[in-house]
């Protein structure tokens, strides 16, 4: 299969089930969570003026929800943002982003969209405090109009952006940028004035990075890695609902404004739809490294806890790099098997593999740090999930495999594996090379620490989870 996308995230070796070591999770629903850390607290801001905070990325407290007067972020929002809501013919707000500029103030890039068209407006609201209240500074971009657009040209939704889903970031040289866009004409990037937060003059809608012809690509988020020297552009493909096939992808570039490539070296500017054809998913699904799609760990006689565990339509992520610890985090919303449209925030650790591509830990973050492991600790049974490269509502189910102590992979797939250094994973599956990491982390389903791995090939990624019947207890762990 040419475009296979494996995520081989696997688990083994139950370490301890002591209640005193059980992490405490408190979940919240914030759609399209965009992260910012202020002092020692993480905040996420999302659609419908929702927000939450956490000290540890595990236990979240809701701060706000709903585009109604009285929302603590913008207390008189219906009046304050009346121009935006009126332009977009909307009564709600979509995915925002918040950044702190050199004046110490917090700048919220908000947006509203009609939804069934790219009739949208994006503006800036400013606050002295991260938790608000925010005061509107005005609209900075409009889209979806009949006639001349903000770039002085006739607006064409197939080639011009839908001005929603902003992410504002500083590059390594201190220049301020905004990447944005959803469906319609694609994903664009603009230079911003670091003093005011407003777009620099004479850019129009900015530079196109990818998409167009109504490709279902949205939610761009940029993360720079000082470890690799790359800018990583995260994207969500597909539709956001439980049957939409939402999935998280990534591309990279040495420059914040591109050009971006995927792990096969394909130019992301070519990731676009077919002219005259709406939502032609097969045209652009081969582009971008797929980090995560819908999956479910399947029950076996050995895995009674597996029932229902997994994600449906995970996406619209943000990402965070902690320069003190060197840890990377992926923050996203997801739905769940058999739970309809209910969604919650999830945080997973990421790691850079030897090719400089992010791989995602299989279980949610619970304070785990990567360590030094032995081949004996790693060998055992795993649940293997192939995410593919398709944009699909189908939920990928796990299949059992085993990593034998002599370096073989048997079961649903065949190949070899090797531990390199303290925790680097090197696997060959059906003749395809994958690289990633081994990681011991907490499994909610098992109620214990387990060994996992995550690895990526040039074609894609892999994810998995432990088979309970292969766990061994260790009182001293």
Q: Which residues are catalytic?
A: 32, 218
Distant-in-sequence contacts of 241-244, Cβ < 8 A, 24+ apart = 241/313, 241/335, 241/341, 242/312, 242/313, 242/335, 242/340, 242/341, 242/393, 243/313, 243/393, 244/313, 244/393
In order, the DSSP letters of 382-429 are EEEEE--S---SPPEEPEEEEE-TTSEEEESS-EEEEEETTTEEEEEE
- Contacts of 196 by beta carbon, 8 Å cutoff, 6+ apart: none
Q: For residues 178 and 193, is the Cβ–Cβ distance under 8 A?
A: no
- Contacts of 139 by beta carbon, 8 Å cutoff, 6+ apart: 83, 84, 87, 121, 122, 123
CA distances from 286 to 1, 317, 430 (A): 12, 20, 20
Query: How many other C-beta atoms can be found within 10 angstroms of the C-beta atom of residue 179?
Result: 27
Q: Which residue has the tokens 């990928």?
A: 396
CA distances from 357 to 191, 353, 417 (A): 26, 6, 19
Compute φ and ψ for 264, nearest 5 degrees: -95, 0
Residue 60, both tokens: 């979240």
Residues 433 and 251: their CA atoms lie apart, in Å, by 19
Residues 84 and 299: their CA atoms lie apart, in Å, by 49
Nearest in space to 122 (alpha carbons), one of 166, 92, 79, 152: 166
Q: Which residues pair with 51 in a beta bridge?
A: 45, 64
SS (H, E, C) 208-272: EEECCCCCCEEEEEEEEECCCCEEEEEEEECECCCCCECEEEEEEECCCCCCCECCCCCEHHHCC
């Amino acid at each position: 299969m040419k475009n296979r996308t494996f995520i081989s995230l696997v688990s083994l070796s139950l370490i301890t089930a002591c209640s005193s070591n059980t992490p405490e999770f408190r979940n919240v629903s914030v759609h399209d969570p965009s992260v910012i850390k202020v002092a020692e607290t993480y905040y996420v801001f999302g659609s419908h003026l929702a927000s939450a905070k956490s000290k540890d990325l595990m236990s979240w407290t809701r701060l706000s929800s709903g585009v109604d007067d009285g929302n603590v972020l913008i207390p008189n929002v219906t009046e304050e943002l009346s121009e935006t809501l009126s332009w977009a013919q909307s009564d709600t707000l979509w995915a925002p982003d918040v950044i702190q500029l050199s004046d110490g103030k917090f700048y919220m890039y908000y947006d509203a969209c009609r939804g069934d068209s790219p009739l949208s407006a994006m503006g800036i609201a400013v606050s002295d405090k991260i938790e608000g209240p925010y005061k509107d500074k005005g609209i900075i971009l409009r889209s979806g109009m009949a006639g001349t657009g903000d770039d002085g040209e006739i607006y064409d939704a197939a080639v011009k952006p839908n001005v929603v889903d902003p992410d504002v970031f500083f590059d390594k040289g201190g220049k301020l940028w905004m990447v944005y866009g959803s469906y319609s004409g694609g994903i664009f990037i603009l230079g911003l004035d670091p003093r005011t937060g407003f777009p620099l003059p004479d850019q129009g809608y900015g530079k196109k990075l990818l998409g167009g012809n109504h490709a279902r690509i949205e939610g761009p988020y940029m993360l720079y890695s000082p470890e690799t020297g790359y800018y990583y552009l995260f994207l969500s493909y597909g539709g956001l609902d439980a049957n939409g096939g939402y999935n998280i992808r990534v591309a990279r570039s040495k420059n914040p404004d591109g050009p971006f490539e995927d792990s096969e070296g394909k130019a992301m500017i070519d990731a676009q739809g077919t002219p005259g054809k709406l939502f032609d998913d097969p045209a652009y699904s081969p582009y971008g490294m797929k980090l995560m799609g819908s999956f479910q760990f399947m029950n076996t006689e050995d895995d009674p806890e597996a029932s229902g565990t997994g994600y449906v339509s995970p996406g619209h992520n943000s990402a965070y790099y902690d320069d003190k610890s060197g840890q990377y985090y992926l923050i996203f919303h997801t739905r769940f098997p058999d739970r309809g449209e209910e969604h919650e925030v999830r945080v997973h650790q990421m790691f850079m593999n030897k090719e400089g591509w992010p791989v995602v830990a299989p279980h949610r973050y619970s304070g785990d740090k990567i360590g030094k492991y032995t081949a004996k600790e790693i060998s055992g049974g795993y649940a293997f999930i192939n995410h593919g490269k398709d944009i699909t509502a189908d939920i990928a189910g796990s299949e059992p495999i085993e990593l034998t102590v002599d370096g073989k992979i048997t079961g649903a797939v065949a190949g070899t594996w090797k531990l390199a250094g303290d925790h680097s994973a090197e696997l060959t599956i059906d003749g395809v090379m994958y690289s990633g990491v081994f990681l011991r982390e907490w499994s909610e389903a098992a109620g214990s620490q387990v060994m996992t791995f995550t690895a990526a090939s040039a074609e894609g990624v892999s994810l998995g989870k432990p088979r309970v019947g292969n766990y061994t207890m260790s009182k001293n762990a």
